[in-house]
Amino acid sequence: MTSTLSDRPDRPIRDVVFCDGVRTPFGRAGRAGTGMYAETRADDLIVAAIRELLRRHPELPPARVDEVAVAASTQIGDQGLTIGRTAAILAGLPKSVPGYAIDRMCAGGMTAVTTAAGSIAFGAYDVVIAGGVEHMGRHPMGEAADPNPRFLSDRLVDTSALSMGATAENLHDRFPHLTRERADLYALHSQEKVAKAYAEGKIQRDLVPVAIRSAELGWGLATKDEPPRPDTTLADLAALRTPFRPHGRITAGNAAGLNDGATACLLADAGTAAELGLPTAMRLVGYGFAGVDPEVMGVGPIPSTERALARTGLAIEDIGLFELNEAFAVQVLAFLDHYGLADDDPRVNQYGGAIALGHPLASSGVRLMTQLARQFAEHPEVRYGLTAMCVGLGQGGTVIWENPHYVSPAGSSREAGQ
* Burial of 372 from C-beta contacts in 10 A (0-12 / 13-18 / 19+): buried
Dihedral sign (CA 35, 222, 85, 205): negative
CA torsion, points 212, 68, 357, 298, in degrees to nearest 10?
Answer: 140
Helix (H) or strand (E) holding 180: helix 180-199
Spatial separation of the C-alpha atoms in residues 50 and 45, rounded to whole Å: 9
Q: Tell me the backbone φ, ψ of residue 261, rounded to 5 degrees.
A: 165, 170
Choose, from 139, 189, 265, 390, the residue flagged as catalytic.
Answer: 390
Instruction: Please work out, in degrees rounded to the nearest 5, the angle formed at the alpha carbon of residue 303 by the alpha carbons of 297 and 305.
Output: 115
Specify the DSSP element, H or E, that contains 274: helix 270-276
Amino acid at 76: I
Residues whose CB is less than 8 angstroms from the CB of residue 238 and which lie 6 or more positions away in sequence, other chains included = 184
CA distances from 76 to 38, 143, 307 (A): 17, 9, 33
DSSP 265: E
Is 265 designated active site?
no
400 — phi, psi (to 5°)? Answer: -105, 135
Of 63, 47, 204, 226, the residue nearest 131 (C-alpha)? 47
Give me the count of residues in the chain. Answer: 418
Is position 405 annotated as part of the catalytic site?
no
Is-catalytic flag, 390? yes
- Catalytic residue (one of 106, 172, 189, 265): 106
The Cα-based distances of 38 to 199, 215, 231 in angstroms read 27, 10, 25
Strands 99-102 and 259-269, sheet pairing = unpaired
**List of residues 6+ apart from 52 with CB closer than 8 A:** 22, 208, 264
- For residue 214, what are the β-bridge partners? 218
Q: Of 135, 139, 172, 359, which one is the catalytic site residue? A: 359
398 bridge partner residues: 288, 388
Residue 317 contacts residue 384 (beta carbons within 8 Å): no
Q: Which residues are catalytic?
A: 106, 359, 390
